[in-house]
Every structure is written in C-alpha cells, then in structure tokens.
Chains A and B, each alone.
Chain A
Amino acid sequence: MKLEINGEMRELDAEPEMPLLWALRDVLGMTGTKYGCGIAQCGACSVLVDGVVTRSCVTPVGSLEGSKVSTIEAMEQDAVGQKVVEAWVKHQVPQCGYCQSGQVMAAVSLLKENAAPSEEDVRASMQNLCRCGTYNAIHAALSDLAGQENA
C-alpha cells in the first residue's frame, strides 16, 4: 500500500492491520515516534493525521489511505512545528525526552487549531503522560507561544 508521510508518498510493505506506530518504526525505520503503552493511554506515539493529533499505536495503516501523516521527523519543516521545537528548547522542556516527540505533536496539533490557546485550552488538549513531570515546562512553553500570538 501507499501512504503519504511527511509530504512524501511512501510504498509500505505492511498488512492493513499493522498499527501506524510499528509501520513507522520498523518498516520505515523512523524511530522518532515512540512506543509507550500500545493502548492509546500515554501519547508517546502521537502523530498528526490530516493535521490532527492521533495515537499511532492504535491506528491501523489500512485506515490511512488518502490521509496525510506528519511525524516528529518533519516538525522543523513545518511553520508551527518549528516554533514549537524552538519553544521546547528555549524552555528546556524535555528531561528523559522519551515522551517529548508525542508532546511536541500534541502541541503542534493544538496550535494549528488554535494559535492562541488559553490555559484551559492547553489543559484540555495536552493530555500525554510524562513520567519525568515536565508538565509545568510544557505549559510555560505553550503559554509563551500563545502569548507571542497575542502580542
């Protein structure tokens, strides 16, 4: 099957049931997207499907034909993604970093929908787990990004 990933049509030798997470990691060798739970609880596997944050560990590749998939690997080529990455570095958000691909994708999805999210919007949207407890740093980065938009 063919899948559009990061703006490129990729030939994918995988059966339709294979979750996108494992197609990305194992078939395409793109390891930026992470496995944490496999049941859509932690969010480490978050990617964008047609601009909307999606948990790739429970998304069969067969459901994605005709969709545009964006992953962490392409975020610096995305206008919003680049700003998020810059804010993540500026606010020194990551600790171990394992959940941060997913956190960045969730932030990009939020900002694409709402360039100046309120604190409530951020709280409602940023639901990925972080065991290192970077939640306050994530909020600081998003509040900075929302503030830039308002300024």
Chain B
Amino acid sequence: MMARIFLDGPANGSGDERFAAPAQPVNLSRRRFLMGSAGVATGALVLGFGIPVGPARAQGPAAPAPKALDVPAFLEIRPDNTVRFLSPFMEGGQGAFTAMAQIVGEELDMDPAVFEVEAAPAGKVFQVMFGGTMRITGGSMSVRTSYDTMRRLGASARAMLVSAAAQRLGVGVDTLTTEPGKVIHAASGRSLSYGELAEGALDMGVPEAGRISLKDPKDFRWIGKPVARIDMHAKSTGQAMYAIDSQVENMLQAAVQHAPRLGLQPGAIRNEAAVKAMPGVHSVHTLDGAVAVVAPYWWHARQAADALDVDWQDPGESEEVRYMPADFATDAFTQHLSSQTGRGEEAETAGDSAAAFASAAKVVEGEFTSQYLHHAQLEPPSTLARFNEDGSLDLWMPNQGPEIFQAAIAAKTGLAPEKINIHSPLLGGFFGRHFQYTWGNPYPHAIALAKATGRPVKVIWSREEEFLRDPMRPMAVVKFKGALDADGWPVGLDVVSVCEGPGEGIANKRGEKLDESALEGITAKSYAIPNRRIAQLFVKNPTTLAYWRSVGNSMNDFFYESFFDEMADAGGKDPYALRLKLLEGNERLTTLLNAAVELSGGWKRGPFTAADGTRRARGIAMASPFGSEAAAVAEVSIQDGQVVVHDVWEAIDPGSIVNPAIVEAQVNSAVALGLSQVLVEGAEYEAGMPVARNFDVYQILRPEQMAKVHVKIVESGAEMGGIGEPPLPAIPPAVANAVSVLTGKRVRVMPLSKESFEA
C-alpha cells in the first residue's frame, strides 16, 4: 500500500480501510458565511463532505463547536444549470478531473462536459481517502479510493433535486425521473432543469446514506465510456494555468543559485554590488543553502542569480542535512554497491531457500543495476507566496498533497495551518515530483523572499537549478540467484537488493520496518517458486531520493522479470510457457498474460526477420503494481548499435474502470516513461555534481524513439486498481528480454544506451 509511504516514509498502518464507508455529504447552501470568497453562485445548491450538519440539528450546549470550515464546497449546482466541482485530487495529465466529473455526473445525472472542475484547497473536509483521513494525488489512488464517495455525492444531489421537483410540481417523488440536467414528470410532460430546482433544495437535509440508491452499473451512461477529457481545449490553446503562470498584483519574481552541493552554505557574495547594479534587479538575498535575486521580470532575476559569485562554505557532514560529498560519483558508487557481500534484511521468505539451493541441479546468477532518474516534468518548479494583511499566507504551488505542505509550512513559519492557503494550479507533469521533499521544493525560498521584500514573490527554479535539487528515483544493485531442479524448473530464488528505498531516502533515516517501496516488484510476485529469500541490504545514498512514477516497481520488475527469463533459458524453457506454468491456477493472471500475447498476434519470440528486412525479437514481462495487473510484449531491433522498440502490446487489468480512453492514454504515457528509462535515461554524478543540468545532456524519450502502443483492457471485476503507474513496470523488462533474445547477450543494466549492440 502506498498511502503510508507517501505520508510518512517507511512507517506504519495497514491501509486496508481504503474502501471504508464514504463520508456523508451535507448541504452547505445556506452557509454562505462559511463560503467567503469562493465565488459560489447565488441560489446554487452546494454539497460538501465532513462538515457538521447545520443548526437545524443543533447540538447540545456541551458539544464542541464545529471546526472552522476553511473550504466552501465540493459540488455546486448553479441556477444556470452548470456544475462546479472542487476535486480533492490534482490534475496533472492523468485525467483525474474528468474521472471525478464522470463519477459524480453519472449518479447526479449530469453530463460531465458541463462540469467546471478545480483543485480543492487544503482542508480536512477534502481528505476523502481511507475513511476521511487523508488525501494525496499519488499511488494511482484517486479514482479507486474515492469512487464510492463520489458516486454517493452525485446520488445525494440528484435525490435532493428530485425532492425539490416533487414539491414544486406537487407530485410524488416516485412519479419523477431524470434525464441529464433535468427532472422529468412523464405523466404531465413537464420538466425542470437542475438549475431551476437548485433553490428549492437549499434548505433540504441530505438524505441519509442508507436511503440513497446507486445506479445499476448496466445503466451507466458515462462510467465505463470513453468520455472526452474536459481540459483538452484549454490545454490546446495555451489557456490552461500552471503554477508557473500564477501572478498577483505587485508581484516580484525570483531566481536562485543553489549551493553546488547539498549541505554547503553561502558565505560572502564577492560581486554583490555589481549584481545589484544589473538591469532590472530589485534585491539580492542569502537563503538557506542558496542565494537569490529578486526582480520584476524573471529573466533579469535569472541573469543576475547566475552571475552571483558566492564563497560557498562547507561545514561538513551533519545529521541535519543530506550532505553531498565533493568526491561523490555514480560510477564509483555503483561499484561500492556491487562490492557489498552482506545478506541483508529479509523482506519476504517462503519455504526453505537454503535447502533448495543445496539440492539444486543448476544455480543461475545475475547482478542487475539501475540508475538514478530525474522526474523531468516539463514545468520547472515554482511557488508564488503572498503574505496578506490579516496575517495569512497564500501560496500557489505545484503539489500532490495540500495538507502535507500546509502542515510543513505551519511548522516552518509558526503560522496556524488555517492561515495558510494552498492553491493548486494544474501540474505541468508530476510523476512523483511534487510531494514534500525537505530539500526539493521551492516554497521555502518563496516564503523567505516574500517576507524579506514585503511583496508577493514568485520563485521559479531554472531547469539547471531543478536538476541540481530534483530528488531522484533511487538506483540499486540487485544480486539474484535462482535454483533449478533437474527438469529445469525454478524451485528457489535468492535476492539481495543493495539499495536505499525512496521512503528511507525522503525521511533521511531508516524506519523501524523495511521500506516496502524499496523491494516492491521483487516481493509479492505471483509465480509459484516455492522457496524464496528476498532481502534488502541498506546502503545510504548521498543523493536526495524521491518517488517516481511506479516507485519501487519502476526498477524492481525490470530486475525480476529479466532474471526470470535468464532462469527460463537456463532451464531450457520458453519464457512465456514458463510464466504460464508458474501461474497455473491463477485465472486472473493467466487470462491477462494470454490477452497480451493474443493482442500481439500470438507468441513469437524470435529472432525473426521483419517485412522491412530488419532482424527483430520479442520479449514478455508482467507486473502487479498499485492494485492492478499488467502484461506486456515488446518488439525490438538494433539500429546503429542502439535498441529500437517498434511495438508494445500491453494488457492491463485494473479490476474495473471508469474511462477506457483515459486508460489507453495512461498506458501510452507509462510506456513512454518505461521506454525512456530502459533506453536512454540516467542521472549521473561526478565530483559531487550532476553531470546533466538540462535536456541537452539529460536524455528523455524523443518522439522518434516512441513505440506504437496497443492496449487491451481486461476488466476482471477484481477490486479496482490504479491506472497512472501500473502500465509502466512491465515495459523495461519486456524490452530487455527482447534485446537479450535478439543479441544473445543478457541485459542487466539500464539504460541500454550505455552499451552498443549487434543483432
């Protein structure tokens, strides 16, 4: 489970309350005093969650006062028959806003296309996950954790509008039906729009949960259909607003120069007077671990910040900071990880692994290596901070969890959380980038500079400064041993991953328990290999670490599924057939694996010669990330020594889905990131500094490197899983397995661009 990992690093909690009873909506329409500046239309019906029901059901005098409401509404049905919805989940391309409109709209009986969706501010009432305890946009959890809650919200509003119509028309509720956006009285041929009815529902109580009936899925009008995403026009015409586009009156802008290595602090600025005299400069500032220049225009600030000549002070290592040594290099660090001989701490055991190896007919060994990765979202991080006269602080910032940032900022500034207003514009990509990372977010700079200048300040990290402080997907060296019996069947597996998990890296310390995200994808595999010992050998990294799309699975399925093919080859088994054999009795995964193979036109491992004369081969792999199941086949050739991926066929089983078009788009997107990782990407360090500071050196998948993507959605009816991350982890091993077949050389290191291949 991802939830606790995102919140606490390697911490606690079972997370099995995911499908706990949804929060009961309440009618906020008359609570205008609570809605303040939220722009709620007069006469609108407004439903929200988690707020004590109003004065009509007054509590006794001894009851605690209702908690101050810092947010106005969830769902607003306006007199003009439009709907405004505040989404607890951020939109960053994964389609969350549209999915929310589809789910609420389905039960409300309102076309998702008329929904205006915005990201909800920070506040307890928006914590709709896990029985109302938290919310983040991550772990591929938005839809699956809120599906029931959002359906109930829509259904409650519909029931109230029908009641209002019954009163208005003087007829029984059971004589009324709805069509999108209106209530119909078929007997008299009369109809009233939701907008017209909203006023009549303003004083109504929300029906109790037990009295709300949800639609039979066979009657769904929008759920399960390829409904168009609601933000396409804005995003195709430059109107979509991201944090970097935020502006407020009297605003200044700032650029920073970070300390070249984390842990260093600015001493004297040798050329401060000269920089202050540069065009447009407002002021020069010294920050924690950085220096900054403020100016009305960001380009002036940037020129000046880059020009600052700082006497950086090195206080040496301390517990307080994740210190980057001056001699750190990724090549040497890889060697260091590889040279470890310890057995690590067990994360998963089964049977008797030692005995299986002692009696093995054949032992297969392989050491695999992954690389650090940048998020490389195209929108560089920024934050606009404004202190208000009433002592409150407004922040416009990219984020995947407003309450987490609100709490961190409260702790840092001493402000009460309710004085901190987090605005969450669209995310220009995220992939795990916009969680709270101690040294990886620009908001501390924005707050410090707004305080120092007495004006609103928007800080933008240049791409170069971003690649210096972007916390990265961890790297690992993983040592595999497989025991085969006399017939070539795998009977034992021994794995030691030498690594630091992302949760451990973010917390900058080990938790009491193992960081599950360190080994997910090596652990909890479904293959029937009876004797297993899977362990983590913890080695702290000097780099800062992060969650990256599909987290531990992003690399661990590459290791495991590649080694799986090595075991198959060593035992003389076909890798597809071996997977089927070791999944015997697992109907869901057998169906899924066969679906991927059928989609690819039948299993054809190769090598073979394609119609265009190129030598090609195919690889296969599976993964079980974030509550969903995935299986992929990839077809590759070699051109000028480098791997070309022609086609990817992927079958995905998220249990059940809300929007097949979004699923297909997310598979394409995850395939692109998977290919990027396996083919070209890698962040390297030399002498304590990143080698790549921009896209000239740091490679991400280019248009001509994209494969054709074929998607098969399998709805097994299992518990609903995620969509944003699950299609990624099977891609790198499917490619690596294909390359190994084609070249006769096992691939054990990402990215493949480090090597030259021959078909």
- Chain A residues in the interface with B (C-beta under 8 A): 14-15, 18-19, 22, 25-27, 29, 31-39, 41-42, 44, 71-73, 75-76, 85, 88-89, 92-101, 104, 123, 126-138
CB <8 Å contact, B279 and A98: no
Q: Which residues of B contact A73 (CB under 8 A)?
A: 237-238
Provide a sorted-by-A list of 28 A–B residue pairs whose CB atoms are within 8 angstroms: A14-B297, A22-B297, A25-B298, A27-B297, A31-B245, A33-B238, A34-B244, A36-B378, A37-B695, A38-B462, A42-B378, A71-B238, A75-B237, A89-B233, A93-B232, A95-B669, A96-B426, A98-B377, A98-B428, A99-B378, A123-B703, A127-B702, A131-B377, A132-B429, A133-B670, A133-B671, A134-B668, A136-B709
Cα separation A130 to B239 with both chains bound (whole Å): 18
Cα separation A25 to B251 with both chains bound (whole Å): 14
CB <8 Å contact, B672 and A135: yes
Interface string of B114-155 (1 = CB under 8 A from A): 000000000000000000000000000000000000000000
CB <8 Å contact, A94 and B232: yes
CB <8 Å contact, B695 and A133: no
The winner among B427, B460, B462, B706 for most chain A CB atoms within 10 A is B706
* Additional A-B contacts beyond A96-B378, A100-B236 (19; CB < 8 A): A22-B299, A31-B245, A34-B242, A35-B244, A38-B462, A39-B694, A39-B695, A76-B237, A88-B232, A89-B236, A94-B232, A97-B428, A123-B704, A126-B703, A127-B702, A130-B703, A131-B377, A131-B429, A133-B671
Cα separation A28 to B228 with both chains bound (whole Å): 33
Chain B's closest residue to A26 (CB) is B297
Cα separation A29 to B94 with both chains bound (whole Å): 28
CB <8 Å contact, B703 and A135: yes
Chain A's closest residue to B697 (CB) is A41
Q: Which residues of A contact B297 (CB under 8 A)?
A: 14, 18, 22, 26-27
Cα separation A131 to B700 with both chains bound (whole Å): 7
Q: Which residues of A contact B379 (CB under 8 A)?
A: 34, 36, 96, 98
Interface string of B213-247 (1 = CB under 8 A from A): 00000000000000011011111111111101101
- Chain B residues in the interface with A (C-beta under 8 A): 92-95, 228-229, 231-242, 244-245, 247, 253, 279, 296-299, 376-380, 426-431, 460, 462-463, 661, 665, 668-673, 676, 694-696, 700-704, 706, 708-709
CB distance from A61 to the nearest CB of B (A): 11
The residue that A98 contacts in the complex, of B233, B234, B378, with Cβ under 8 A, is B378
CB <8 Å contact, B702 and A96: no
Cα separation A29 to B233 with both chains bound (whole Å): 20
Q: Which residues of A contact B279 (CB under 8 A)?
A: 15
Whether A88 touches B238, Cβ cut-off 8 Å, given contacts A95-B94, A96-B377, A133-B672, is: no
Cα separation A99 to B238 with both chains bound (whole Å): 10
Cα separation A14 to B299 with both chains bound (whole Å): 11
Q: Which residues of B contact A93 (CB under 8 A)?
A: 232, 236
CB distance from A95 to the nearest CB of B (A): 3
Q: Which residues of B contact A98 (CB under 8 A)?
A: 242, 377-379, 428-429
CB <8 Å contact, A36 and B229: no
Q: Which residues of B contact A27 (CB under 8 A)?
A: 297
CB <8 Å contact, B242 and A37: no
The winner among A26, A98, A130 for most chain B CB atoms within 10 A is A98
Q: Which residues of A contact B671 (CB under 8 A)?
A: 133
Q: Which residues of A contact B92 (CB under 8 A)?
A: 96
CB <8 Å contact, A132 and B669: yes
Whether A97 touches B235, Cβ cut-off 8 Å, given contacts A35-B244, A132-B669, is: yes
Cα separation A7 to B64 with both chains bound (whole Å): 62
CB <8 Å contact, A129 and B702: yes
Whether A104 touches B236, Cβ cut-off 8 Å, given contacts A22-B298, A95-B94, is: yes
Q: Which residues of A contact B93 (CB under 8 A)?
A: 94-97, 132
Cα separation A95 to B93 with both chains bound (whole Å): 4
Q: Which residues of A contact B232 (CB under 8 A)?
A: 88-89, 92-94
Q: Which residues of B contact A85 (CB under 8 A)?
A: 233, 236-237
Cα separation A15 to B299 with both chains bound (whole Å): 11
CB <8 Å contact, B238 and A101: yes
CB <8 Å contact, A100 and B235: yes
CB distance from B556 to the nearest CB of A (A): 21
CB <8 Å contact, A36 and B380: yes
Cα separation A19 to B242 with both chains bound (whole Å): 21
Q: Which residues of B contact A42 (CB under 8 A)?
A: 378, 695
Q: Which residues of B contact A72 (CB under 8 A)?
A: 237-238
Q: Which residues of B contact A15 (CB under 8 A)?
A: 279
CB distance from A112 to the nearest CB of B (A): 17
CB distance from A144 to the nearest CB of B (A): 14
Q: Which 9 A-B pairs have the closest CB atoms?
A: A133-B672, A32-B238, A97-B235, A98-B428, A95-B93, A96-B93, A72-B238, A22-B299, A94-B235
The residue that A34 contacts in the complex, of B94, B234, B378, B670, with Cβ under 8 A, is B378
The winner among A15, A96, A136 for most chain B CB atoms within 10 A is A96
CB <8 Å contact, B376 and A131: yes
Q: Which residues of B contact A136 (CB under 8 A)?
A: 668, 706, 708-709
CB distance from A17 to the nearest CB of B (A): 9
CB distance from A21 to the nearest CB of B (A): 8
Chain B's closest residue to A29 (CB) is B247
Q: Which residues of A contact B670 (CB under 8 A)?
A: 133
The residue that A137 contacts in the complex, of B244, B245, B377, B668, with Cβ under 8 A, is B668
CB distance from A15 to the nearest CB of B (A): 6
Cα separation A99 to B665 with both chains bound (whole Å): 16
Chain B's closest residue to A82 (CB) is B237
Cα separation A35 to B379 with both chains bound (whole Å): 7
The winner among B428, B661, B703 for most chain A CB atoms within 10 A is B703
CB <8 Å contact, A26 and B665: no
Q: Which residues of A contact B429 (CB under 8 A)?
A: 96, 98, 131-132
CB distance from A42 to the nearest CB of B (A): 5
Cα separation A137 to B460 with both chains bound (whole Å): 30
Chain A's closest residue to B705 (CB) is A135
CB distance from A30 to the nearest CB of B (A): 8
CB distance from A53 to the nearest CB of B (A): 14
CB <8 Å contact, A34 and B706: no
The winner among B236, B376, B708 for most chain A CB atoms within 10 A is B236
Chain A's closest residue to B229 (CB) is A92
CB distance from B495 to the nearest CB of A (A): 30
Chain B's closest residue to A85 (CB) is B236
Cα separation A138 to B670 with both chains bound (whole Å): 16
Chain B's closest residue to A103 (CB) is B236
CB distance from A14 to the nearest CB of B (A): 8
Chain B's closest residue to A15 (CB) is B279
Chain B's closest residue to A22 (CB) is B299
Whether A94 touches B236, Cβ cut-off 8 Å, given contacts A31-B245, A133-B701, is: yes
CB <8 Å contact, A39 and B696: yes
Chain A's closest residue to B708 (CB) is A136
Q: Which residues of B contact A31 (CB under 8 A)?
A: 238, 241, 244-245, 247
The winner among B92, B253, B378, B661 for most chain A CB atoms within 10 A is B378
The residue that A36 contacts in the complex, of B234, B247, B463, with Cβ under 8 A, is B463
Chain A's closest residue to B279 (CB) is A15
Q: Which residues of B contact A18 (CB under 8 A)?
A: 297, 299
Q: Which residues of B contact A96 (CB under 8 A)?
A: 92-93, 377-379, 426-430
CB distance from A78 to the nearest CB of B (A): 11
The residue that A134 contacts in the complex, of B238, B244, B460, B669, with Cβ under 8 A, is B669
Cα separation A96 to B245 with both chains bound (whole Å): 14
CB <8 Å contact, B695 and A129: yes
Cα separation A98 to B297 with both chains bound (whole Å): 21
CB distance from A137 to the nearest CB of B (A): 7
The residue that B231 contacts in the complex, of A19, A94, A127, with Cβ under 8 A, is A94
Q: Which residues of B contact A131 (CB under 8 A)?
A: 376-378, 429, 431, 672-673, 700
CB distance from A19 to the nearest CB of B (A): 6
CB <8 Å contact, A26 and B235: no
Cα separation A42 to B698 with both chains bound (whole Å): 11
Q: Which residues of B contact A128 (CB under 8 A)?
A: 703
Cα separation A135 to B665 with both chains bound (whole Å): 11
CB <8 Å contact, B236 and A88: yes
CB <8 Å contact, B428 and A34: yes
Q: Which residues of B contact A38 (CB under 8 A)?
A: 462-463, 694
